[in-house]
Amino acid sequence: MNGFRKIIATFFYLGMIKYAPGTFGTLGAALCYAALWYFGLAHFFVILGCFLAASFANIAVGDWAEKHFGKKDPGCVVIDEVAGYFLTVLFFAPSFITWIGGFLFFRLFDIAKPYPVKKCEKLPGGYGILLDDLAAAIYAAICLGILETLLQI
């Protein structure tokens, strides 16, 4: 059972990459999005399903992951980045700008952690692991919306 939890928490071991595990977790989510887009499946409800699945998985394994890895919000736990990426792109039509812009903006705000993103990290267990990424995703989605609006002008 611990092996399955580790696969989920690290998003198929992408979080175990030594350098920039959050970026690799987000990249994994972005590649999943690209595959959905390629096959014509990047519809709102499919992306919503991906977001919800990653969020619920994060909450389900969050407490275990903190105990297993021995620290609060362990860097190797990247299922939260997956949820954050899918929330970032949820309300946008599939496009190259959505795909890459979502990745770049989400990483920017997940790393910078402006207020109140950093504050969300302090919540207990899986909620703290997840909610800072969802707050970063809201900032990223706002910027993505501004970018897409500017590109239409």
- Residue 13 resides in a domain: no
pLDDT for position 26: 98
pLDDT digits (tens, 9 = 90+) for 101-118: 999 999 999 999 998 888
pLDDT digits (tens, 9 = 90+) for 52-74: 999 999 999 988 998 999 888 88
User: Per the structure, how many domains does the chain have?
Assistant: 1
- 116 near 135, Cβ under 8 Å? yes
> Is the pLDDT confidence value at 125 over 90?
no
Q: How many Å apart are CA 106 and CA 37, to the nearest integer?
A: 19
- Residue 31 resides in a domain: yes
What is the average per-residue pLDDT within 82-107?
97
- Residue 5 resides in a domain: no
pLDDT digits (tens, 9 = 90+) for 5-55: 999 999 999 999 999 999 999 999 999 999 999 999 999 999 999 999 999
DSSP result, the chain: -HHHHHHHHTTTTGGGSSS-HHHHHHHHHHHHHHHHHHTT---HHHHHHHHHHHHHHHHHHHHHHHHHHTSSS-TT--HHHHHHHHHHHTTS-S-HIIIIIHHHHHHHHHHH-TTTHHHHTTSSHHHHHHHHHHHHHHHHHHHHHHHHHHHH-
- Residue 1 resides in a domain: no
More confident residue, 4 or 121: 4
pTM of the predicted protein model: 0.96
pLDDT for position 82: 98
Count of other CB atoms within 10 angstroms of residue 19:
6
- Residue 116 resides in a domain: yes
pLDDT for position 49: 98
- Residue 28 resides in a domain: yes
- Residue 153 resides in a domain: no
> Is the pLDDT confidence value at 124 over 80?
no
- Residue 2 resides in a domain: no
pLDDT for position 8: 95
Q: Containing domain of residue 49, as a range?
A: 18-148
Tokens of 90: 């949820």
Tokens of 100: 């890459």
